[in-house]
A and B are shown apart, each in its own frame.
Chain A
Amino acid sequence: MKEFMLIFRHEDGKKVASPEQIQQWMKETMDWIAGISAQHKFVGGNGLLFDDAKIVGHKGVVTNGPYGDIKETLGGYIIVKADDVNEAVAFAKGCPVLVGDGNTVEVRMLAKGDGLH
């Protein structure tokens, strides 16, 4: 069985959600993860905090980020087990992040543990 990383990309990470929306979003995310866990296919995951986020650029130029030029930001990821990319994509389709217009989930197979090494 292969492992895939599902990476959440937000079109605008600084958009402020209302308390009620955050509650709804939190519930959906927990339900989504619980659904994957129930099939013993959830490996792990984490959110990425916006506090003190920095971008280190060419020649070590450090900027506060990831805002400004780069609008799109990473919000978090989970790692799932799946037989193939199609199964991983099926998991990704249920991700509540996708409710937000312009948000995407990128699906990438992890190199280590791909069965060849």
Chain B
Amino acid sequence: MKQDQLIPNLFRTEYSKIVAVLCKHFGVTFIDHAEDIASDSFLKAMQTWPFEGIPEKPTAWLYTVAKNKAFNLLLRRQTYEANVLTAWTDMNDCSITLDLSEDNIQDSQLRMIFAICHPTLPKESQIALALRILCGFGIDEIATAFLTSRDTINKRLSRAKDKFRNANVTLEFPEGNTLITRLDAVLITLYLLFSEGYYSENNERLVNEEFCFEAMRLAHLLTLSNETCRPETNALLALMCFQASRLKARTDHSGALIFYEEQDTTLWDMALIAEGTRYLHEASTGNTVSRYHLEAAIAYWYTRKENAEEKWQNILTLYDQLLTVEYSPIAAMNRTFALAQVKGNATAIVEAEKLKLEENLFYFVLLGELYRPLDGEKAKLHFERALTLAKTQRDRQSIQRKLNGVVAS
């Protein structure tokens, strides 16, 4: 029986799988060919499926085409590419064919994650490569997300790939102690990828939900392997689930940001919250308390709808712990919001004003909020300051709404 519906994101998903398997087999130097082979296979599908119907097993169809294309390419190149030739001969002699089994795909993708998140590559390159190679996004899509041109993204990618090749990054799976430090780098990159989707300061499109879900898919992939399914991996995934549960409630129909305290809580995704809770539970083994554990625990309390004193007291305590594990001005700022709920706005204002995050629009939104019940004039000044820092129409709209609220009251 023929399917008449395409699997959602079929090509994007298969792109990353095909590229990963080819690179594991032929080495990282093969990456450009691997990408071409994947794209060409999709093009062939494009020229066949609409007329003959979608094959019964679309992925198997794509893998057969990709294998043939790889084989033909190597046959053509065998005269001058000695190193690839070896791989090819091996393949021929032992009659090994490209292994596109589920297990090997998963293993190849895991190796690819580690290779791309290699510490010798700048984070910016890692993100670009991850979006392209691990998530299968097109150049246009990445360029739109970063509000830049195709050329810029192409250059960034080709520089990243040069580094990738020159640094002799291999697709070996790191072992022992190296694994822990390398996994650390992987988690940071996945968190950045998620955050890139969760809030973009410059982009009119507030959330790039797909980036969030891709980051979650990759983190989930890490939980499937014994070596990488560590407490901090589960904690990061829990954190992502909790944050993502509010994606639908965070924007209004015009795309403007809806602040936490103004959200329609019926739009929160309870299934994701439940999943997050499950991962957080999985994370509670061993004796490491990573920043992800603390951030996930904070995010968990944020998913609780009732404004009980317990909720804010817990959040405050967790922020205090987080700041000792890993200080960041943003975390310190968010702490003052919790502090206000527990100790009152006046106390929180004193703490907040010490931070002096003069470039951060959310800092002034926070100060505006804290001053609102105490001093309307000051609240107004802070919201106006935030307005001057907003870079998008969307953020200006959200802040204007706050400002109108003060003027009206």
Contacts and interface: CB of A to CB of B under 8 A. Distances in A.
A27 B136 CA distance: 18
A36 to B, nearest CB: 11
B136 A48 contact: no
Contact of B12 (A19, A29, A30): A19
Given A23-B10, A25-B46, A18 B141 contact: yes
27 contacts: A17-B138, A18-B136, A18-B139, A18-B140, A18-B141, A19-B12, A19-B14, A19-B38, A19-B39, A20-B9, A20-B136, A20-B138, A21-B140, A22-B45, A22-B46, A23-B6, A23-B10, A26-B45, A29-B50, A30-B4, A30-B50, A44-B51, A45-B51, A50-B43, A51-B44, A75-B47, A78-B51
B138 A47 contact: no
Contacts of A16: 39
A26 B52 CA distance: 12
A20 B141 contact: yes
B42 A22 contact: yes
A26 B50 contact: yes
Given A18-B140, A20-B141, A46 B6 contact: no
Interface residues of A, number: 25
B137 interface: yes
Nearest to A23: B11
B49 interface: yes
Nearest to B13: A19
Contacts of B39: 16-17, 19
A47 B51 contact: yes
A22 B136 CA distance: 12
B48 interface: yes
Given A16-B39, A19-B12, A20-B137, A27 B47 contact: no
B6 A22 contact: no
A26 B6 contact: yes
B71 to A, nearest CB: 13
Interface in B39-97: 39-40, 42-51, 54
Given A30-B6, A49-B47, 15 more contacts: A19-B14, A19-B15, A19-B38, A19-B39, A20-B136, A21-B138, A22-B11, A23-B11, A26-B6, A27-B6, A29-B46, A30-B49, A46-B51, A47-B46, A51-B44
Contacts of A78: 51
Interface string A8-49: 000000001111111101110110010000000000111111
B43 A33 contact: no
Nearest to A28: B50
Nearest to A17: B138
A66 interface: no
Contacts, number: 74
Nearest to B47: A47
Interface of A: 16-23, 25-27, 29-30, 33, 44-51, 75-76, 78
Contacts of B38: 19
Interface size range of chain B in the complex: 20 to 34
Contacts of A29: 46, 50
Given A19-B42, A23-B12, A76 B47 contact: yes
A71 B141 CA distance: 26
B69 to A, nearest CB: 8
Contacts of B6: 23, 26-27, 30
Interface string B120-136: 00000000000000001
A20 B51 contact: no
Contacts of B10: 23
B51 A33 contact: yes
Contacts of B47: 46-49, 75-76
A20 B48 contact: no
Contacts of A27: 6
Contacts of B54: 30
A49 B46 CA distance: 10
A78 B51 CA distance: 9
A92 to B, nearest CB: 15
Contacts of A19: 11-12, 14-15, 38-39, 42, 136, 138
Interface string B1-34: 0001010011110110000000000000000000
A24 to B, nearest CB: 10
Contacts of A33: 50-51
A25 B47 CA distance: 11
Report which residue of A17, A25, A47, A50 has the largest number of chain B beta carbons within 10 angstroms of its beta carbon.
A47
Contacts of B137: 18, 20
A26 to B, nearest CB: 5
A25 B54 CA distance: 14
A46 B46 CA distance: 10
